[in-house]
């Protein structure tokens, strides 16, 4: 009998390590592979591509297998077809051994065979903050913008259909063009869907294969959401009005999604171990054929070439069918170049704060009072001070300072407030560790990695989160006071009209775009910190196993939360302008975004309070009102995206994988990837000091409107725009302009090797703004 090893996965959102048994020689055992077929090479003898894919898979004979495999009991089963893709991808997903995968690679009809990839989730007040009418259906009171014909597909952890956010009272019948279904399964009957939640599917083959068939006890193979994340994002996109919504009393008010009349279709592709590429492709594939108008994906992995990026490939197919695709940028900030989902046909969304906060206070024995945040909702500590313990003893060493599981000595902690450093394990898990060790409270102090950013959590014990500077003061107090250090914690509820806001969240992933540096990312930011939305009633608000509290709404933070805000706004724009392409909707949201806070000062970064830049906030924070009537848009056709692919250093096969077109000749190609008609500019000065880009604007505003260009650039760069004035005589008219960026001779490049500016077209009514980033290569 072969010896057993274990394969381990980190579980979202608590980063608990789950291990599954795996035989010693894993090469003999089956894994999920995605097989890319030459779609246009299907023999006429097969009626469908599915038949062809099945034949291709079954053609694997025992001769292709090694003698060791053929004699292994674990390889006795045949390859299994998991998914046959028809819309999002040209090919299928199957369980294969390494030798079978290699055999398929030698097949002339097979372009490539790739091992499945795991992606992760990027985990009330927002309508008012965005200027939407809370009681109405659209952007402002009385506009009656009806998005009931718009269908939003949400790829996530599933949905809790009983949530009041998905009540279909007053909703008209389901659009006749809808082809989706409501899949029944464990704890999810077909009757769970209605005229609001019009479709629900589950995709778990990749997950089950990766877990070796040993599923997490909380996971259900049906559209039922046992995690909460999917319900939260779906209700943020298009949840209906729910009065008296709150998380255990916090953020009380009327909850509604961005597009409360839009329809929701839930595609469960994520489980406790993550989201597998084969399942994601399956979800996108069905969403396209079902007939969604908007796709919202609050998930992603690292950056990779587009031909190896499952989400980018699936999104390209969606865009080709006129579907707007919005994805989260990732939660790896403030690290430079940490973005996910950077393809230009995807709307890449970062996160900012709201003007709402949940203050909490820590008063030390020396009389100093520190203000932080918390969503703790229990009895509290009262006014009695308690001893304050810090495992790092002011030196941040060991693991007890991080309050990792098993790191705290209960004899030292019992009855005390514990100071914990933020990082490594989940914030709410630290509180659980303190409580289990006998602590009565926690101060969660940021380190340099999180800076001054504060994220509120619904802890299991009294807890206050503070920034790095306050944290350093408290650490120093414990070091100097020793055993005499004391603290008492208290909580201030919900506070509105916080200034400044928005502020760019420190966790929001940053540019530049390392896949295609000539395309600036992220595109925009939206509300993503302390967002209240619907929740799965089977999961506690922290997601911890020992959290038995139940709530219909929860408050979460992440680009997972900002992404569905933009998806919902896209649904509203789709309802208002059904003729607009996905790129026109993206352009409207980008060129009308604002770059100032509610104090009319430039946007700042929560990491350290410094000024933000377009690598953090993209074009700026979305402004739905202005996006509804942007004046001009930068439109991009699917052929333009193919031309963009021709400008990349890709092989013909790579381009065909993405575009699913045979014989892409690239007879028309861009001189530079940055010449794509994108609403922003990313200028790279390398061998050449002069960069020339051409853009085309389409008039979606009033006829006979004259625009004048205004340029903001650093002194090291000269900018010429020709022409500098554009007169649009009719609606729908298109006009081109050329902008020339020149790295000035005699001017030294900035020591940071990067700088930022903007290009603005203005009329008496409209302002159409594009951010510009400048980067100098080391050679200069």
Would you please indicate which residues are annotated as catalytic (active-site) residues? Answer: 156, 229, 560
Supply φ then ψ for residue 597, to 5 degrees: -95, -170
Q: Which residues contact 661 (CB under 8 A, 6 or more apart)?
A: 642, 655
DSSP string, 219-285: --SSSB-SSSHHHHHHHHHH---EEEEEETTEEEEEE--SSTTSEEEEEE-EETTEEEHHHHHHHHH
Question: How far is 3 from 494, CA to CA, in rounded Å?
Answer: 56
Residue 371, burial from CB neighbour count under 10 angstroms (0-12, 13-18, 19+):
middle
496: left (phi over 0), alpha (psi -120 to 50) or beta: beta
Task: Give Dmax (Cα) for the chain.
Answer: 84
Q: 627: closest CA among 570, 670, 581?
A: 570
Question: How far is 291 from 318, CA to CA, in rounded Å?
Answer: 10
Residues in the chain, overall count: 780
Question: How far is 158 from 161, CA to CA, in rounded Å?
Answer: 9
Question: How far is 415 from 439, CA to CA, in rounded Å?
Answer: 5
Q: Are 381 and 351 in contact (CB under 8 A)?
A: no
Q: In what order do the strands lie in the sheet with 324-328?
A: 197-202, 263-268, 151-156, 294-297, 324-328, 347-352, 524-527
Q: 331: closest CA among 542, 174, 119, 172?
A: 119
| The two structure tokens encoding residue 213 | 């068939």
Question: How far is 316 from 231, CA to CA, in rounded Å?
Answer: 26
Residue 391, burial from CB neighbour count under 10 angstroms (0-12, 13-18, 19+):
buried
Strand partners, 373: 359, 465
Question: How far is 342 from 304, CA to CA, in rounded Å?
Answer: 9
| The two structure tokens encoding residue 623 | 């402004």
- Cα separations (Å) of 662 from 38, 90, 169, 403, 659? 8, 12, 48, 56, 9
Residue 369, burial from CB neighbour count under 10 angstroms (0-12, 13-18, 19+):
exposed
Is 544 strand, coil or helix? coil
Secondary structure of 549-580 in the HEC alphabet? CCCCEEEECCHHHHHHHHHHHHHHHHHHCCCC
Strands 110-115 and 31-37: antiparallel
Rg of the Cα trace of the chain?
Answer: 27
Q: Could you report how far apart the first and last alpha carbons of the chain are, in Å? A: 62
Sign of CA dihedral 653, 658, 664, 669: negative
Q: Which residues contact 480 (CB under 8 A, 6 or more apart)?
A: none
């Amino acid at each position: 009998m072969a010896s057993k090893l274990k394969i381990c996965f980190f579980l979202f959102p608590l980063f608990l390590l789950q291990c599954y048994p795996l035989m010693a020689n894993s090469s003999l055992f089956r894994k999920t592979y995605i097989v890319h077929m030459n779609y246009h090479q299907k023999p006429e003898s097969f009626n469908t591509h599915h038949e062809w894919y099945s034949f291709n898979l079954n053609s694997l004979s025992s001769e292709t297998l090694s003698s060791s495999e053929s004699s292994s009991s674990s390889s006795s089963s045949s390859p299994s077809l998991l998914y046959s893709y028809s819309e999002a991808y040209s090919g299928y997903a199957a369980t294969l051994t390494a030798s079978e995968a290699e055999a398929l690679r030698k097949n002339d009809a097979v372009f490539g065979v790739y091992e499945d990839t795991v992606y992760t989730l990027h985990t009330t007040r927002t309508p008012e903050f965005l200027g939407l009418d809370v009681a109405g259906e659209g952007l402002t009171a009385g506009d009656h913008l009806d998005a009931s014909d718009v269908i939003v597909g949400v790829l996530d952890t599933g949905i809790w259909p009983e949530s009041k956010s998905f009540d279909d009272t007053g909703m008209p019948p389901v659009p006749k063009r809808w082809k989706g279904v409501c899949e029944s399964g464990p704890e999810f009957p077909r009757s769970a869907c209605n005229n609001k939640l019009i479709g629900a599917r589950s995709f778990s083959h990749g997950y089950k294969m990766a877990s070796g068939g040993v599923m997490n006890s909380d996971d259900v193979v049906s559209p039922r959401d046992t995690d909460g994340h999917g319900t939260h994002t779906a209700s943020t996109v298009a949840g209906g009005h729910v009065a008296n919504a709150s998380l255990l009393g916090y953020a009380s008010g009327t909850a509604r999604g961005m597009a409360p009349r839009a329809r929701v279709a839930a595609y469960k592709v994520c489980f406790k171990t993550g989201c597998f590429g084969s399942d994601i492709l399956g979800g996108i594939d069905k969403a396209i054929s079902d007939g969604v108008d908007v796709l919202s994906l609050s998930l992603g992995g690292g950056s990779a070439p587009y031909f190896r990026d499952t989400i980018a490939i699936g999104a390209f197919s969606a865009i080709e069918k006129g579907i707007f695709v919005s994805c989260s940028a990732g939660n790896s900030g403030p690290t430079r170049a940490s973005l996910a989902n950077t393809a230009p046909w995807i709307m890449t969304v970062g996160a900012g704060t709201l003007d709402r906060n949940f203050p909490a206070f820590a008063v030390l024995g020396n009389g100093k009072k520190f203000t932080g945040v918390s969503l703790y909702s229990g009895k509290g500590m009262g006014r009695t001070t308690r001893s304050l313990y810090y495992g790092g003893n002011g030196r941040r060493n060991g693991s007890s300072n991080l309050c990792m599981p098993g790191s705290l000595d209960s004899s030292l902690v019992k009855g005390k407030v514990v100071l914990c450093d933020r990082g490594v394990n989940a914030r709410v898990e630290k509180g659980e560790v303190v409580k289990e060790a006998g602590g009565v409270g926690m101060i969660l102090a940021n380190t340099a990695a999180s800076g001054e950013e504060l994220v509120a959590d619904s802890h299991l014990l009294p807890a206050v989160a503070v920034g790095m500077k306050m944290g350093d003061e408290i650490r120093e107090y414990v070091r100097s006071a020793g055993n005499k250090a004391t603290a008492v914690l208290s909580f201030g509820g919900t506070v509105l009209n916080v200034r400044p806001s928005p502020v760019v969240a420190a966790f929001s992933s940053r540019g530049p775009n390392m896949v295609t540096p000539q395309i600036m990312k992220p595109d925009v930011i939206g509300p993503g910190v302390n967002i209240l939305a619907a929740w799965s009633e089977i999961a506690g608000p922290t997601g911890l196993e020992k959290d038995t509290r139940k709530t219909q709404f929860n408050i979460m933070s992440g680009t997972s939360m900002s992404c569905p805000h933009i998806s919902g706004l896209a649904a509203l724009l789709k309802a208002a302008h059904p003729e607009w392409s996905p790129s026109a909707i993206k352009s409207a949201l980008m060129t009308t975004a604002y770059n100032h806070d509610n104090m009319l000062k430039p946007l700042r970064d929560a990491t350290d309070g410094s000024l933000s830049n377009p690598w953090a906030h993209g074009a700026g924070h979305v402004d739905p009102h202005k996006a509804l009537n942007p004046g001009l848009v930068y439109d991009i056709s699917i052929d333009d995206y193919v031309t963009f692919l021709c400008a990349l250093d890709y092989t013909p096969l790579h381009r065909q994988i993405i575009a699913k077109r045979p014989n892409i000749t690239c007879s028309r190609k861009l001189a530079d990837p940055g010449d794509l008609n994108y609403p922003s500019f990313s200028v790279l000065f390398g061998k050449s000091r002069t960069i020339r880009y051409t853009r085309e604007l389409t008039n979606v505003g009033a006829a006979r409107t004259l625009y004048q260009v205004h340029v903001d650039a650093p002194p090291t760069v000269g900018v010429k725009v020709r022409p500098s004035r554009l007169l649009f005589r009719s609606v729908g008219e298109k006009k081109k302009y050329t902008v020339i960026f020149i790295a000035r001779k005699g001017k030294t490049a900035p020591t940071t090797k990067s700088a930022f500016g903007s290009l603005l077209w203005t009329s008496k009514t409209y302002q159409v703004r594009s951010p510009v980033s400048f980067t100098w290569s080391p050679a200069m």
